[in-house]
């Protein structure tokens, strides 16, 4: 067995607020330098060597995924009425052996009769075949993909490296003739502004969408609609449901500002909904009769107000649904006769319907019921402003994702589709009753109860012998609500207990839960995760020598910091695109996203207290010379959200600091043409997932070799 790579140490001093840190691997920040690329290649080769014994297990796991996945499949057609009066069913199909979806449409007559589009029905048009676009590319990702309001043109954007710099393209659907489009790198979003204009965004050097442009087809001169100079804010755009207005937003982590553009006269300028104010967050939904605004003005858990289209500030807002204890209001879909609210309550989603009264007011919110104690659910936005039905998505740790049609007038629902889990050649048909999901609560050091969602086979008993995986995130108020996973079945059927720790910094228990795990309170995220790990051991679901921690991106920071706090609590750690050199990154305002992130983590460049706090937990700078778990860090060269240098430095520092243990290797695996989300094609993504699962199983269930 060869020795792991040992990169050269080149001390570089960093001095802030009276603290000096010597970074021996700062030179890795030039990720395109030949020496660094050679180092990544050596790390990949070492990882291949150290995992060679898992080849058969990887193949079995990959076959598991293929066996259970319906590889040729369809989405449920969606009825769309275009401005020219034409009506179409839009849907996407996947084909066995092909990596990417094929987007199609079929002429429609009756919106109540969803057609059977198996195969290629007569009249079907291929709108966009991603497989053709991806041919010859090592990576492909679709950004914007939008048919014009009159249904005659398609605009889409594509990324072929993983760096999230997209190229805009436009075609006539009838002839497939490509129309001239701006030849500049753009952000992933964008929308139509009528049938002959497009709105797109460009980014600054820090990868922040800072400019919104209006492009008129057939012309080469694009008009700048908005330039946002404040580096804390990023821009976004969206169309109103009736496509009569475009919403333009500037948002930071703590503030927001919306403007409206009239599609009929985009040269007339934008109208401000309410000026930005530090701490004021709001979102705008354009209804048929008013603006509906979800906001935190005097309502930390957010409230719903309405305002006339002429509103120009919060003084014009009128409360419709006030803030409610324990309910974090997230958004609203506004239709002519119904409002659909989406919220979170008690670590579960909450979907409610308000019905318009005869006096044109609104009734009280009525919740939509779901029949599981743990679940995730969402309300999809309908295109028709006058709709009387919506589509709901629902899943849990044991229930495959289901799409229902829900009637807003009487509450009737029908299932349109449920993800199929095909029969496994060994385990047979999937039976949800063979698995158990549960909610448990860990006790944090400060006495806070931290929820966990847990799933395992019904025959697993809490005697400390089961292997387990604990997943965590805990940032940006993101909620890791229960979700179904076909690949996870390969762990559960091998006796694993799988759990997600709903740690502070996430949004599972409302805005206060988020606030208790950000800025100077950030360390609570990591102690919560350790508490959840201890809980799984103390309650008998696993033992410390069989427990694997897993987190991605900011979740990589969570597991990296937790391992430094309690290396004895875990057998292994899988950190995917991990934010493990957080302090170095957040100190550098020239890096992508840094300034926009200051409202999440704090500003250590100018604030000594924030610096000391981040210094205390950033994983790269707090590694101890003790026995650590095995580590697998996975990353991508073209990731612009968490640069590859972070896990590369972390792995190098781990190897030279922790007590060496051949049974607990420290590995780095880098995709050389991919971004933050990894590789793009589904088959290679499944192979990568099989690689990671095999490593996890090998660490949690070690076998003599």
- Contact criterion met (CB below 8 Å) for 15 and 647: no
Look at the block and give the residue holding tokens 């919220």. 343
C-alpha to C-alpha distance for 501 and 480, rounded to whole angstroms: 8
- Three-class secondary structure of residue 454 per DSSP: strand
Burial of 103 (0-12, 13-18, 19+ CB in 10 A): buried
Give Cα separations from 444 to 81, 504, 518, 524, 573 (angstroms): 53, 10, 16, 8, 21
Give the E-state strand segments of 402-475 in sequence order: 402-407, 413-418, 435-443, 449-457, 468-472
> Which of the following is catalytic: 255, 676, 680, 688?
676
Helices (H), 12-90: 34-50, 55-68
> Which of the following is catalytic: 553, 574, 636, 680?
553
Category of 216 on φ-ψ map: left (φ > 0), alpha (ψ -120 to 50) or beta: beta
The closest alpha carbon to 103, from 27, 35, 165, 154, belongs to: 154
109 is catalytic: no
> Which of the following is catalytic: 78, 639, 680, 688?
639
- Contact criterion met (CB below 8 Å) for 237 and 199: yes
The closest alpha carbon to 598, from 208, 184, 50, belongs to: 208
C-alpha to C-alpha distance for 596 and 688, rounded to whole angstroms: 31
- Three-class secondary structure of residue 112 per DSSP: coil
Annotate 133-195 with three-state secondary structure. Answer: HHCCCCCCEEEEEEECCCCCEEEEEEECCCCCCEEEEEEECCCCCEECCCCCCECCCEEECCC
Beta bridge partners, 422, equal none
553 is catalytic: yes
DSSP 8-state class, residue 428: B
Phi, psi angles (nearest 5°) of residue 64: -55, -50
82 is catalytic: no
How far is C-alpha 74 from the geometric centre of its chain's CA atoms? Answer: 23
- Contact criterion met (CB below 8 Å) for 468 and 439: no
DSSP 378-390: EEEPPS-TT-SEE
Q: Active-site positions?
A: 553, 639, 676
């Amino acid at each position: 067995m060869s020795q792991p790579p040992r990169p050269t140490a080149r001390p570089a001093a960093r001095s802030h607020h009276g603290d000096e840190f010597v970074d021996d691997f700062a030179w890795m920040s030039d990720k395109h330098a030949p020496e660094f690329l050679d180092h990544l290649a050596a790390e990949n080769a070492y990882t291949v060597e150290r995992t060679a014994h898992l080849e058969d297990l990887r193949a079995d796991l990959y076959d598991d995924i293929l066996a259970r996945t319906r590889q040729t499949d369809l989405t449920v057609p969606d009825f769309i009425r275009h401005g020219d009066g034409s009506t179409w069913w839009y849907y996407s199909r996947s084909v066995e052996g092909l990596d990417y979806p094929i987007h199609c449409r079929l002429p429609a007559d009756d919106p109540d009769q969803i057609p059977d589009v198996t195969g290629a029905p007569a009249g079907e048009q291929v709108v966009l075949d991603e497989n053709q676009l991806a041919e010859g590319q090592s990576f492909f990702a679709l950004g914007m993909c939008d048919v014009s309001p009159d249904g005659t043109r398609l605009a889409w954007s594509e990324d072929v490296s993983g760096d999230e710099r997209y190229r805009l393209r436009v075609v006539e659907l009838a002839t497939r003739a490509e129309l001239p489009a701006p030849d500049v790198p753009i952000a992933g979003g964008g929308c139509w502004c009528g049938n002959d204009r497009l709105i797109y965004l460009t980014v600054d050097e820090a990868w922040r969408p800072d400019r919104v442009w209006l492009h008129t087809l057939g012309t080469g001169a694009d008009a700048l609609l908005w330039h946002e100079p404040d580096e804390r804010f990023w821009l976004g755009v969206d169309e109103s449901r009736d496509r009569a207005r475009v919403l333009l937003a500037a948002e930071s982590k703590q503030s927001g500002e919306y403007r409206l553009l009239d599609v009929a006269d985009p040269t007339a300028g934008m109208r401000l909904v309410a000026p930005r104010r530090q701490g004021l967050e709001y979102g705008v939904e354009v209804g048929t009769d008013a603006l509906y605004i979800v906001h935190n003005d005097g309502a930390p858990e957010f409230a719903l107000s309405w305002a006339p289209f002429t509103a120009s500030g919060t003084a014009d807002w009128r409360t419709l649904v006030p803030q409610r204890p324990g309910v974090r209001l997230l958004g609203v879909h506004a239709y002519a006769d119904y409002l659909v609210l989406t919220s979170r309550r008690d670590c579960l989603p909450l979907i409610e319907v308000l019905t318009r009264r005869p006096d044109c007011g609104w009734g009280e919110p009525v919740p939509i019921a779901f029949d599981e104690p743990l679940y995730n659910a969402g309300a999809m936005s309908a295109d028709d402003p006058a709709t009387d039905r919506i589509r709901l998505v629902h899943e849990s740790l044991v229930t495959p994702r289901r799409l229902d049609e829900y009637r807003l007038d009487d509450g009737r629902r029908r299932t349109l589709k449920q993800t199929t889990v095909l029969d496994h050649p060994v385990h047979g048909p999937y039976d949800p009753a063979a698995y158990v999901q549960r909610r448990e609560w860990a006790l944090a050091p400060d006495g806070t109860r931290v929820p966990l969602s847990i799933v395992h086979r019904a025959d697993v008993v809490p005697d400390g012998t089961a292997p387990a995986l604990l997943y965590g995130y805990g940032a940006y108020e993101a909620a890791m609500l229960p979700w179904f996973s076909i690949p996870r079945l390969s762990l559960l059927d091998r006796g694993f207990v799988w759990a997600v720790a709903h740690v502070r910094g996430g949004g599972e228990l409302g805005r206060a839960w988020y606030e208790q795990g950000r800025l100077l309170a950030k360390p609570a995220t990591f102690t919560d995760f350790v508490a959840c790990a201890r809980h799984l051991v103390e309650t008998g679901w696993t033992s410390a020598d069989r427990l694997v921690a897993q987190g991605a991106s900011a979740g990589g920071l969570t597991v990296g910091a937790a391992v430094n706090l309690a290396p004895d609590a875990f057998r292994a750690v899988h950190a995917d695109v991990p934010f493990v050199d957080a302090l170095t990154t957040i100190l550098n305002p020239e890096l992508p996203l840094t300034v926009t992130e200051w409202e999440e983590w704090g500003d250590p460049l100018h604030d000594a207290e924030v610096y000391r706090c981040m210094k205390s937990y950033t994983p790269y700078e707090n590694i101890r010379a003790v026995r650590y778990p095995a580590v697998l860090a996975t990353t991508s060269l073209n990731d612009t959200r968490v640069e590859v240098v972070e896990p590369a430095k972390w792995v190098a520092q781990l190897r030279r600091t922790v007590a060496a243990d051949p049974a607990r290797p420290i590995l780095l695996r880098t995709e050389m043409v991919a971004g933050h989300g990894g590789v793009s094609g589904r088959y290679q993504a499944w192979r990568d997932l099989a690689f990671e699962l095999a490593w996890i199983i090998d660490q949690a269930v070690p076998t003599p070799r």
